[in-house]
Structure 1
Amino acid sequence: MKSLARPRSPLPVLLLAATALGTALAAAPAAAQTPAPARSAPMAVPLPQLIPAPRDEPYPGTIALEIDATDVARGVYRVVERIPVTEGTARLTLLLPEWTPGAHAPRGRAEQVADLRFYAGERLLSWQRDPADVFAFHIDLPAGTREVTARFVHTSPLQPAEGRVTMTPEMLNLEWDLMSFYPAGHYTRRIMVRPTVTFPRGWRAFTALDGAVGPASSASPATTAPNTASWAPVDYETLVDSPIFAGIHAQRWDLGQNVAMNVVADDPKLLAIKPEHLATYRNLVNEAVALYGSRHFDHYEFLLALTDRMGGIGLEHHRSSENQMEPTSWIDWTGMDWDRNVIPHELSHSWDGKFRRPAKLWTPDFRQPMGDNLLWVYEGQNQFWGYVLAARSGVQTRDSVLGMLAANAAGFVDSPGRAWRSVEDTTFDPIMAARKPKPYASLTRGEDYYTEGALVWLEADQLIRAGTGGKKGMDDFAKAFFGIRDGDWGTVTYEFEDLVTTLNGIYPHDWDKFLRERINQPGRPAPLAGIEQGGYKLVWRDTPNPFEKGRFADARVLSLTYSLGVTIDKDAKVTAVRWGSPAFEAALVNGTKIVSVNGRAYDPAVLRDAITAAKAAPAGSPAPLQLVVQRGDAVRTVTIDYRGGLRYPWLEKAPGKGPAGLDLLLAPRLRPAPTAAAATTVPRDL
C-alpha cells in the first residue's frame, strides 16, 4: 500500500535513481550500449606529378610563333604556334607562363586563352589540363608526330573590371607571356622561338627584339596593308622580356647611349613634347649611366603609352620597359610633374632587378615560385634611385621628389600596421594580396617595401656621407654592387650577405645589424632618420605638397588622411579610412557616402572649410563636425570631435647654411644634355 508519509526532498531521490541506473549500465553487456554515430574518414588521394622539372638543356628545334594583332575593334589576338617535337614523343606538356619576372607573384592569365586546339598536321589532338597546375596542358601525340600546332585566341579585357586592357583602337601592348606556350622540361633560356606579328595597317611598333624583317620594318609609319614583322630566333626568356608597344599615333626619339624613347598616344597632339622637356630624358639616361658606371644592355627601348584607355603599367625589362602615363603628361609638363616617376624607376631596374637580382627571385622557368624576401632591395632601393634620378635629370622637379619623400614618411608616422608587421613581411604581399583593395590598409599594410625600403636606403646614404666626411655615399654602393661587368646583360644573383659585404667595402659599419633591425623588426620608430640626417624634417601644413596636389587633383579625391583620417572620391564616397583616426572612431567605413556637413550639402570645399573652422572651436564646446552619412539604405548623423585642422606632409629644410646632405644627393652629377628639336628615326622603328 502507499505510504501516507510526507515525500522526501527530490534531490536524494534523483541521486539514488542515478546510482541505480549507473550500476545497471555497468552490469549490462557491451552489445547493449548505444553505438556512437558513424563518421567516415577518407584518406588523401595524391595529385599526380606529371610535369617534368626544367633542365638546363636545349629544346630540340625552334618554335614558330605567329600572332595576328589586327582585330583592335574586338580586342582579340589570334595565335598560331608551331612546336617541333622529337620523333617518338608520346606526350607533350606545354606550359603557359605563370610566374614572370617583375610581377613577384603568380600573375599568369590562363583564363584569357580561349578556343584552344592542338593539331598534328590536320589531325585534331586530345588534350587535358593538368589537375594540379591549371597552366599546364598535356597533349597525347600519335606515332610519327614531328610538330604540334596550337591555335587559339587571347582575349584582351575590354574594360578594367575584366583585367588590364592591352588593346584599344589606337594602340596595343603585346606581352608574349600572355599568348604563348613553352614546352616543359627545359630552362626557358634554352628554348628558341621565331616570333612574327601582324599589326593594323598604318601602325608603328616598338620592341627591344633584334633582327626585324618584313614590311613592318619600313621607316614609313603607314602602309596600304597590315604590317607583318618577323624577328630573328630568340630564346624564350628574352622573348618574354621584350614586349611590344604599337599604335597609330606613335613617335620615336634617340636619347643617346643607344637608348630610345618610343611613344604611343591616344591622340597625336599628346606627343608634342617641348625640346627642353625631351632633354630631361637625355639627362636621365646620362645620369643613370654615370650613377652605375656601366650599361647592362646593348640598346634600351623606353616603351611609353600616353593614354587613359589602355591599362596602366610600369614594368621593368632588361633592355626595355613598359610605361604608362596620363595622356597630358607631356603637354602639361608642370601640371603633370607628379606623374613622371615611372620612367626613372623602370630604367634603374635594368641594373637593380634585371642584372643584379635576389637569388630566390631568379627562376629557370615561369612555373617555379619566386622568393620575394629581398624586394626591399630589388624594389625599395630602386625606388630610392628612381627618386634620385628623377631629381638629378629634371624629369621631375626637386620639389615633387621632396613631396614624394614626405608622403612616404608621413604614411609611417603612427602607423598601426608597423606595430605588428615588418618591412620584410610586406615583401610577401604581392603573392597574398595581388594589390587588391583592403578595408584598412593602414593596419594590414601593403607593399611598403617600396617606400619604407627607399627611406632605409636614404638613411644608409646619409650615414655613409657622415662617416666619410661627404666623400662617399650610396652612389659608391651602386657602382660597386650593380655596376660590375660592363656590357653583360645576363643576370647575377645575390643574397643578403652580399649586400653587407659590399656596404662594408664602402664604409665599415655594422650593416648586418642596421638592415636587420630596420627590415626585420616590427614596432620600430618611423623611418625619419635619413630625412633628418639629410638636413630636413617632416612638417605638417594645411595644403598638399606639390606632388600630392597634382596626384589628388588628377584622381579627383579629397584626401584627409592625416586629419579626419579619410579619403573621399568624386562621388562623395569614402574610399579609405585610417585605423584609429577620428573617422574610424565615428565608424565611417569604405563605401559610406557623405551627404552633408554641418547642415550643408557635401562638397570637398565645404568639408575642408568645416575642418579649418573646427580648429578654432573653444575647448569643451560641442563636437564641431556633424556629418549626415549614408551606407546602403541606412542614413545616420555622425558627430566628430576633431579640432586639429587640415594636415598634409611636407619636408622642410632645417636652419643652416649651404646645401644639406639630401640636397647633395639630389643634385645633378652631369651638365644638362643639349636640347634637340626634332624626333629621330632609328633602325629599330618597325
Structure 2
Amino acid sequence: MNAHFPQRRSGCATRRLAGASALALSLSLALALPAGAAQPAAPVIPAPTAQSYPGTIVLNVDATNLSQQIFQMRMSIPVKPGPLTLLYPQWLPANHGPNGPITQLAGLKFSANGKPVEWTRDPVQVFAFHLTVPEGATTLEAQYQYLSPLDATQGRNTMTDDILGVQWVSTTLYPAGYVARGVTVQANLKLPAGWHYATALETADRQGDDVHFKPSDLETLVDSPLFAGRYYKQFDLDPGAKVPVRLNVFADSPESLDAKPEQIAAHRKLVQQAYKLFNSHHYDHYDFLFALSDEFGGIGREHHQSSENGVKPGYFTDWAKSEAGRDLLPHEYTHSWDGKFRRPAGQDVPNFNTPLQNELLWVYEGQTQYWGNVLAARSGLVSMAGARDALAATAARYDSVAGRNWRAVQDTVNDPIMNARRPLGWANWQRSEDYYSEGQLIWLDVDTRLRELSGDKRSLNDFARAFYSVNDGSHLPAFYTFEDVVATLNKVQPYDWAAFLRNKLDGHGPGAPLDGLARAGWKLVYTDTPTDLVKGADDRNKVTDLSYSLGFTVAQDGAIRNLIWDGVAFRAGLAANSSIVAVNDRVYKPELLKAAIKEAKDGKPIRLLVKKGNVLRTVSLDYRGGLRYPRLERIPGTKDRLEGIYSALK
C-alpha cells in the first residue's frame, strides 16, 4: 500500500499545481481586461424547437475493425455560416438515465471546404460541442470513433470477431435547437466481409458489404439498432402475417443456431399471446435481435419495432437448462406496447439531451416485468412450475430487502439517474432499481384484487386491452399520467386504486408486498432443496446462493457477494469484499459450506477462515436453521388464481 502513496501525492500535487496555474491564468486574464469590461459569455446551447432541420445529415459507420473493436464514423451535416452546437446523446431511451457513453467517443475532428474547424466543449453541458461554421461553407464534415469497451470495467462489449451491435445513439451527433423527430439522417454501414445483419431500419440497398438505409428521423434511427454477425439465422414468428415478426439470431458458432421446431413454436405462440393480451400492435414489423455469445455483451433493451437481446450460448442447444432466462424476449417484446407506445408523461422529451422524469417506471418496467413472467408461461417458453419458481425467487428476494425499512420503492425510480447502474457495496440496504421486480409484485396484487373484486370476471388482462390497444397500428407514442392509470383501472373495476397504489409505492413494509400472492392462493415457504430454477441460475452464474440461510451468495473461488444487511453473516462482521478461504479448517468448496450448514442444525459450529485484503481472520457464524431455498406452496382451501393467470388466453 505504501508504495502507492507517493504516486497519489504526486497526482494530487500535480492537480493542485494545475489548479493554481489555472487560477493564476484566470486572474491575469481578468486583470488584462479593461476596467468594467464584461467577461466573455459562454456559448448558449439552443433550446429544441419544433422546426425541422434543413437538409439531410449523412452518417457513415465503418464497423470492419474487429481486431481493435473500433467503429469509425464520418458525418456530413448541411450547415450555414455562423455558430453551431452539436450534441452527443446523453439521456438514453430505455436506460432511464444520463448514461450516454461519451468517454468512448474519440478522435473528434471537423472540417469545412477542406479546412479544419475547431470546436470547444461546453463547460457545463459536456455532451455539447460548440463551433463556428466559416463563411462560404454549406457542409460540415465530422470524423470520430466509437471505441467499443475492451473489458467489462469500461462498459458492455459491442464488437467481437463474430458479432457486433451498432447502437446509433452511440455513433451519432446531432444539431442542438431541434426536436429529434425534426432531424433527418441517412445512415450507411460498412460491414465485415460476408456478414449478415438485422435491424428495424428500412434498407434502401446493399452493395457488397456496404449497406445504405432509407432516410429516417433521428428518433427512429436511435430507436432502431442493428446486430450483425458471421453466423446468422432468421425465424419467421408469424408466418403469412401482413405485419412480420422475426427472430434474428446471431451466434459465436453455427452450432448455437440449431433450434428445434418445438422451440420456435413457443416463440410463435408468444406473438399470438401478446396479440390476444394487448389486442393491438404499433409497428410495421418487429425484429428480435438476439445474440448467443460468450463475448458479445449481454443485454435486454427495448425499442418500438425491435429489441436488443443477448444471452450466453446454449439457449437452444441446452434448452432444459436455459428456462430461467427465457422470460427475456417476452419482457422486451411487451415493451413495444408498455414503454415505447404507451409512455409515461415524464418521458415526453424533445431530444436526447433533455432530462427524463422516471416517476412512472413502476408501470413502464414493473408491469412489463409482470407481463414478461406471465407471457413466458402462456407461450410455453417457461413451464407453469418454472414461472411459479421464478415468482417465488422474486418474492423471497424482496421479502429480505432490508432497505425497504427506510426507502420506498417509488424512490428507486431515481436510481438510473443517481447511480447509472454501477455496482453497490450494500445493495440489500441501499436498494437499487427495485421498481422492476417489486413492481411486478405490486401488479400481481392489482391483478388478483381485480379478480377477487369482480368474482373472477375481470383481471389485469382487461386493463391491458383497454390501456394498450388505443390507436391500433399507430407508431406515435401515447403518453399517460398516474391519473390515467387509475382511471383505466376504475373502468375495469371500481375501487380506490389511487390510495391502493400509493400505499404500495410509498410504504415501507415490513416485508415484500405479498398480498397478491396470498390472494392467488399461494404462500412463500423455504425448504432445504433448491428449485430447478434456482439450481440452474446458480450453475449458470457459478455461485452458491445462501441468501436465506447465512445471508450471502458465494462464488466458486470463495468471493462473498450480495450480503444481506443484518443477516447472519452481517452480524458476524463480514462484508462483500471478503472471501472464504476455509470452512471448519478445510479448504473452501461449496459442498463443504453446505455440509457445515446442515451439520449446524445439530449444534456443530460454522467456522470460516475469511480473507479481506491481506488480513486473515476466523469468523464463527451463529446459525441453526439449515439450508433454506424459496418456493411457493398452495394455501389449502383457496382458489388457485396463478393457474388462471399463467394459462394461455383462448
Per the TM superposition, whether the score is higher than 0.5 is yes
Q: Which residue of 1 aligns with 2:467?
A: 481
**Alpha-carbon distance between aligned partners in 2 of 1:587 and 1:397, rounded to the nearest angstrom:** 41
Provide runs of 4+ in structure 1 moved above 3 Å. 45-49
1:354 matched to 2:340? yes
Aligned pair in 2 of structure 1 residues 574, 524: CA closer, same or farther (>3 Å)?
Answer: closer
Equivalents in 1 of 2:549, 2:569: separation in Å?
9
Q: Partner residue of 1:668?
A: 648
Q: Would you say the 8 A contact 1:116–1:153 is kept in 2?
A: yes
Q: Is the 8 Å Cα contact of residues 47 and 132 (structure 1) preserved in structure 2?
A: no
1:619-638 matches, within 5 Å, as 624-638=605-619
CA contact (8 A) 2:401 2:511 kept: no
1:526 Cα deviation from its structure 2 partner: 2.3
Equivalent-residue separation in structure 1 for 2:561 and 2:524 (angstroms): 26
Shift, 1:133, TM fit: 1.1
Whole-angstrom distance in 2 between the partners of 1:557 and 1:588: 18
Amino acid at match of 1:122: G
Unaligned runs of 5+ in 1: 1-41, 216-225, 618-622, 671-686
The 5-angstrom pairing of residues 634-653 of structure 1 reads: 634-653=615-634
CA contact (8 A) 1:399 1:546 kept: no
Cα deviations across residues 521-540 of structure 1 (Å, max 9, x unaligned)? 22454211111100111010
Partner of 1:222: none
C-alpha separation in 2, matches of 1:421 and 1:319: 36
Q: Which amino acid aligns with 1:80?
A: R
Q: What corresponds to 2:109 in structure 1?
A: 117
- Residue type of the alignment partner of 1:208: A
Query: What is the one-letter code of the residue matched to 1:273?
Result: A
Q: Give the match's secondary structure for 1:435.
A: coil
Three-state SS of the structure 2 residue aligned to 1:214 is: strand
Give the match for residue 53 of structure 1.
47
Q: Is 1:108 matched with 2:134? A: no
Q: Out of 217, 221, 224, which is 1:235 matched to?
A: 217
Q: In structure 1, the residue corresponding to 2:479 is in which secondary structure?
A: strand
Q: Does 1:422 align with 2:414?
A: no
Give 1:570 shift: 1.4
User: How far does the alpha carbon of each residue in 1:370-394 deviate from its partner, in whole angstroms, 9 at most, with x for none?
Assistant: 1111100000000000000000001
Post-superposition offset of 1:99:
0.3
Specify the alignment match of 2:6 in structure 1: none
After superposition, the C-alpha distances for 1:151-203 in whole angstroms (9 at most, x for unaligned) are: 11111112212211000000100000111101000000010011100101110
- The match for 2:307 among 313, 317, 321 is 321
1:656 Cα offset (Å): 4.4
Partner Cα separation in structure 1 for residue 543 and residue 40 of structure 2:
51
Structure 1 residue 501, shift from structure 2 partner: 0.5
Supply the AA of the counterpart residue of 2:448.
Q
2 CA distance for matches of 1:572 and 1:46? 58
Bigger Rg over Cα: 1
Q: Cα gap change, 1:47/1:567 in structure 2, threshold over 3 Å: closer, same or farther?
A: farther
Q: Distance in 2 between matches of 1:543 and 1:433?
A: 36
Task: Verify the 8 A CA contact 2:556 2:589 in the aligned structure 1.
Answer: no
Query: 1:614-660: per-residue Cα shift (whole Å, max 9, x none)?
Result: 1122xxxxx62111111122111111110001111101122348x71
Q: Residues of 2 paired with 1:560 and 1:49: CA distance?
A: 56
- Give 2:195's aligned residue: 203
1:323-365 alpha-carbon deviations (Å, 9 max, x no partner): 0111111111111111121100000000000000001122110
What is the Cα deviation at residue 400 of structure 1? 2.0
Q: Distance in 2 between matches of 1:94 and 1:433?
A: 26
- 1:210-289 to 2 correspondences below 5 Å: 210-215=202-207, 227-256=209-238, 257=241, 258-289=244-275
Q: Aligned residue for 2:178?
A: 186
> What is the CA distance between 1:305 and its match in structure 2?
0.2
CA distance in 2, matches of 1:484, 1:47: 48
What's the secondary structure of 2:320's corresponding residue? coil
Residues 23-44 of structure 1: CA deviation (Å, up to 9, x unaligned): xxxxxxxxxxxxxxxxxxx99x
Q: Structure 1 length as normaliser, TM-score? A: 0.87
Using the alignment, how far apart are the partners of 1:94 and 1:599 within structure 2? 63
| Aligned equivalents of 2:60, 2:450: Cα separation in 1 | 53
* Separation of aligned partners in 2, 1:111 and 1:504: 47
Aligned to 1:92: 84
- The letter of the residue matching 1:643 is R
Q: Deviations over 1:496-529 (max 9, x none)?
A: 0001100000000000100000002224542111
Match in the other structure for 2:319: 333
Instruction: Report if the CA contact (8 A) 1:317-1:354 is conserved.
Output: yes
Residues 596-605 or 299-308, more deviating? 596-605
Contact 2:203 / 2:211 at 8 angstroms: preserved in 1?
no
**Distance in structure 2 (CA, Å) of the matches to 1:588 and 1:132:** 41
Aligned to 2:587: 601
268-277 vs 517-526, which moves further: 517-526
- 2:172 maps to amino acid: S
8 A Cα contact 1:388 1:665, kept in partner: yes
**Structure 1 residues 541, 49: CA separation in 2 closer, same or farther (over 3 Å shift)?**
farther
- Whole-Å separation in 2 of the counterparts to 1:375 and 1:308: 31
Distance 2:320 2:160 in 1: 28
Shift of 1:414: 4.4
Q: Which runs of no fewer than 5 residues in structure 2 stay unpaired?
A: 1-26, 31-38
Provide TM-score, normalisation by structure 2.
0.92
Superposition RMSD in Å:
1.6
Q: Which residue of 2 aligns with 1:558?
A: 544
Indicate if the aligned counterparts of 2:581 and 2:611 stay in contact, CA closer than 8 A. Answer: yes
Q: 1:49 to 1:494 in 2, by over 3 A?
A: farther
Tell me the matched-pair count.
Answer: 610
| Per-residue deviation, 1:46 | 11
- Cross-structure match for 2:5: none
Structure 2: how far apart are the matches of 1:127 and 1:613? Answer: 68
Query: How far off its partner does 1:585 sit?
Result: 1.0
Residues 143-182 of structure 1: matches in 2 within 5 Å? 143-182=135-174
Q: Does the CA-based 8 Å contact 2:400-2:512 persist in structure 1?
A: yes
Measured at CA, do residues 636 and 518 of structure 1 come closer, stay the same or move farther in structure 2, by a change above 3 Å? same
Q: Is the 8 A contact 1:48 1:132 kept in 2?
A: no
Q: Decide whether the 8 Å contact of 2:43 with 2:122 is kept in 1.
A: no
Deviations 1:595-614 (A, max 9, x none): 21112221100000110111
